[in-house]
Amino acid sequence: MKVTTAKLSGFCFGVKNAVSAAEAVCESETDGKPLALLGEIVHNDLVVNKLRSSGYVVYDKAEDVPDGAIVIIRAHGVAPEQIAVLESKGCDVRDMTCPFVSKIHKIVREAAEGGRNIIVTGAKGHPEVVGFCAEADPYNVKVAVISAPEELETLDFPVDSAILVSQTTFSSNTFKKICQKIENKIEKKYVFDTICNTTESRQREAEDLSGISDSMLVIGSSHSSNTNKLFDICKGRCVRSFLVNSALEVRELIAEGKILPGDKVGITAGASTPEAIILEVVQEMNEDEKMTNQEQLDSEFANAVDALAQIRRGAVVKGTITSADADYVYVDVHDKSEGRIARKEFESDPDFDLDKAIEEHAEVTVKVRSIKNSDQGKEIILSKNDIEAEKGRAEIEEAFNNKTPIDVKITRTVKDGLIGTYKGVDIYIHRTQIKSGDVKDLAPYVGQTLDIRVTKFDTEKNRLRISGSHRQIASEERAKKAAEIWDNIEEGKRYKGTVRSVVAFGAFIDIGGVDGLVHASELSWSRNAVPSEILKVGDEVEVYVKSFDKETKKISLGYKKLEDDPYYNIEERIPLGSIVRGTVVRLTNFGAFVQLEPDLDALCHVSQISSTHLEKPDLVLSVGQEVQAQVTEIDTERRRISISIKAVAPIDPEIPEAPAAEEAPAVEEAPVEEAPAANEEA
């Protein structure tokens, strides 16, 4: 059988550092201090049991660790308060948290300080996830851990209020689907692809290898998150994929006929799997083709020499785009460490689809700017713009010498103009060289492509200065079009034009190199039309020539359309004798104007309102009142319509009732005095 082992197998950088640190403590003087692991240092029983036999005790909580102990913090990291507890106990803390995990701690902490909620893609309860989620505990923010795109719907806070980070060993494919789900909901600066580059490369390599293998072995513990993800990936490409933890399990698979003698066997291993187990499995599979240790060393040395010959400062190499974060795009350049390119190099090219390039592992030619060794491994700094810029500069210089136009993509604005890019080379375009006339707003040009003539190519003082002009080309083209229009212009000819400016008395329309005026009276059939309410600068319109003068270079244009005339086809729409409804819009001494349609008024003479004589219409009508009337006359030449309210339902004034006759007041009779008796004394 043919056996192929993935290059990226076994301990990752972070795990290797943590295990090495723990082993180094055992070899040093500990002065009798207790040795402690805060959580299992790696998801592998062989490694953990070996450390236990060296004197280490595994503790789940910092509170349980003995005072003064030497404590190894595993690569997964822990919650900040756990470190504080250990320090309060006087422990000698050896923090071996993976640098990539530490970076996530910092991102979460700073976001929480700023009041943003936290979304984490990963496994709930995983030590790594628990550790950096705890960074948000002191702040009044919410934290959600999800593992699938549909879980975004269950959040109890708005997506746009959060940042997105990921467990370093999370599935890169699932993370991309989640990113697609939140696209345009969270700003890019708040989305952090914190999946470890090695993890993603390991997953991709496993996917490729399992796709060409008859059977696939994934070596590692079933308790390891990254190992399980590798197994899931392999199962998706190779039906006979097996998760094993030792050579003995491989021997059983062969004995049971699950791995066949003629198989192409692929082998990969999780980041928690020690090299000894991988080597044991490989030796089991290659019983008849074992490579001696010296041969293996020779092979590895030869591969290293080949890589060094290619990956050197200033070298031009080809690689494949694998992933990206907020700052960098990562490229596999066939070295143990991936190279990285500043993300802004891709963002300066609006036509480049980075997401698609990552998905398809697009090939890219790059230049090696520098190679540095750091605590996190080898740092390979690459640039694609350097390659393109060298070609671009040569082509720009040729265009300058030959005065030939080139197309540039406008990428940004500066104080007095625009910056366009041509194959990675920036070209300055002053605002006066964009077009004829003053350009007040530069922002709309960003993202556009302009054809320019290179007007300056200066290499003095070892600094390249390039300037260009679109105005020169536009002016030449406009002059050609203008000459063509004046040669062929005639009254009634129709043109498609663009509104150049709008003034109180009309609008100037560019009909292709020549401006013509549409007077305000020609913009609309409405008597009170305001030009700025009808047309805006930049509008595309269809106009026709009313008149022109070649000597004065003036053109009068028409814009309003016959079918928009309120009197167009009026006798069919409102036949003579028909009953119409309308609203009183104006009253005069001689009658009332009634609006039948927008911009279509009819006159009802005062004599046609009431069945009785009226002195003035306002005795029975008021503005805003709805009335019914009959059409009595239509004069299309004079643009007049007459109607009669009286013919349908006359509106008569109310006649007040005469007051009743008043009754004469009753007269009281005066009392009659009786005559005094005759014998009464005076």
Question: Roughly how many angstroms between the first and final C-alpha of the chain, as a whole number?
Answer: 172
- CA 103 to CA 109: how far, in whole Å? 10
3-state DSSP assignment of residue 11? coil
Instruction: Dump the DSSP string for 628-675.
Output: EEEEEEEETTTTEEEEESTTTS--PPPPPPPPPPPPPPP-PPPPPPPP
- CA 92 to CA 86: how far, in whole Å? 8
- CA 432 to CA 513: how far, in whole Å? 19
Residue 153 is among the residues annotated as catalytic for this protein: no
Please pick, among 23, 27, 29, 128, the residue that the annotation labels catalytic: 128
Burial class (CB in 10 A: 0-12, 13-18, 19+), 435: middle
- CA 6 to CA 211: how far, in whole Å? 13
| Contact by Cβ (8 Å): 429, 469 | yes
Say which residues have a Cβ less than 8 Å from residue 668's Cβ, sequence separation at least 6.
none
> Which residue from 145, 168, 144, 166 is spatially nearest to 156, judged by alpha carbons?
144
Q: Which residues pair with 118 in a beta bridge?
A: 143, 163
- CA 69 to CA 57: how far, in whole Å? 10
| Exposure string over 345-368, b if 16+ CB within 10 A, otherwise e | bbebbeeeeeeebbeeebebebbb
- Report CA 424 to chain centroid distance, whole Å: 23
- CA 361 to CA 211: how far, in whole Å? 16
Say which residues have a Cβ less than 8 Å from residue 415's Cβ, sequence separation at least 6.
none
- Report CA 267 to chain centroid distance, whole Å: 39
Q: Which residues are catalytic?
A: 128
